[in-house]
Amino acid sequence: MTIHIGAAPGDIAETVLMPGDPYRAKWAAETFLDDPKLVNDVRGMLGYTGTWKGQRVTIHGSGMGMPSLSIYANELIRDYGAKTLIRIGSCGAMQEQVSLRDVIIAMTASALSTPSRGIFREIGFAPCADWSLLRAATLAAEARGATYHVGGVYSADVFYDERPDLNEIMTRHGVLGVEMEAAELYNVAARHGVRALAVLTVSDHLLREEALSSKDRETGFSEMVQIALEAAFP
């Protein structure tokens, strides 16, 4: 048990999928896992452990933003022995060739700042995904016939952004989409020597000003979760 996670020793699997929304964790666990068991509900941040094709998996919410993600990722790794962490979440497309419901597999994650900035100080550390997970996710998406894109994402530290110039710069440099957690997940994973990846569903399009409905967001995320699970256990 930690300050933020009430799970008992052994309740957390070595493979953890991390949606931002705790209720998305509940939905994913009940939809994809066999015999999911609630292992954490401290502060309303839900975590479930079950099995997928005989493999133990935990699906645990991370909350919104990098500071919240950093807390849960650190505790899952340090105190519960998590070895593979895969973010599953939504993002906003920043390129014309990317459409709503497409899947983005994040090879790198740029950020204006992260909770790890104080550690890196003057170094512009480049957070990136684990290659084995990235490759496995790409192969899984290909095999499923999913419309997917592999490349960089931008992890914003604010939701109501009043710096449109930053989005323009990211778009100009080929960044595929914007979200709020991947960069710090990659930082924490690198620091602890574990594997990390972000598999994202496009729920909004910044250039076209399009967005999925709340219902479409839930039903349209199945592909992303399946790809994440297949990447973890190729």
What are the residue numbers of the active site?
204
Residue 181 annotated as part of some ligand binding site:
yes
Q: Is 99 annotated as a binding residue?
A: no
Rounded Cα distance, 155 and 46, in Å = 23
Is there a binding annotation on residue 12? no
Torsion on CA atoms 21, 94, 158, 183, rounded to nearest 10: 70
Q: Is 96 annotated as a binding residue?
A: no
3-state DSSP of 53-77: CCEEEEEECCCCCHHHHHHHHHHHH
87 φ/ψ angles, rounded to the nearest 5 degrees: -75, 130
90 annotated to a ligand binding site: yes
Q: Is 4 annotated as a binding residue?
A: yes
- Residue ranges of alpha helices (H) inside 5-130 are 22-32, 66-78, 117-120
Give how far the C-alpha of residue 40 lies from the chain's centroid of Cα atoms, to the nearest Å.
19
180 annotated to bind ligand: yes
Determine if residue 213 is labeled as part of a ligand binding site.
no
Q: Which of 79, 74, 23, 78 is nearest to 48 (CA)?
A: 23
Distances (CA, A) of 159 to 91, 155, 163, 180, 181: 11, 10, 11, 8, 11
| 56 assigned to a ligand binding site | no
Q: In the numeric block, which tokens belong to residue 81?
A: 């022995």
> From CA 90, how far away is CA 161, in angstroms rounded?
17
Binding residues for a purine D-ribonucleoside, by number, are 4, 179-181, 203-204
Residues making up the annotated binding site are 4, 20, 24, 43, 87-90, 179-181, 203-204
Residue list for the binding site for phosphate: 20, 24, 43, 87-90
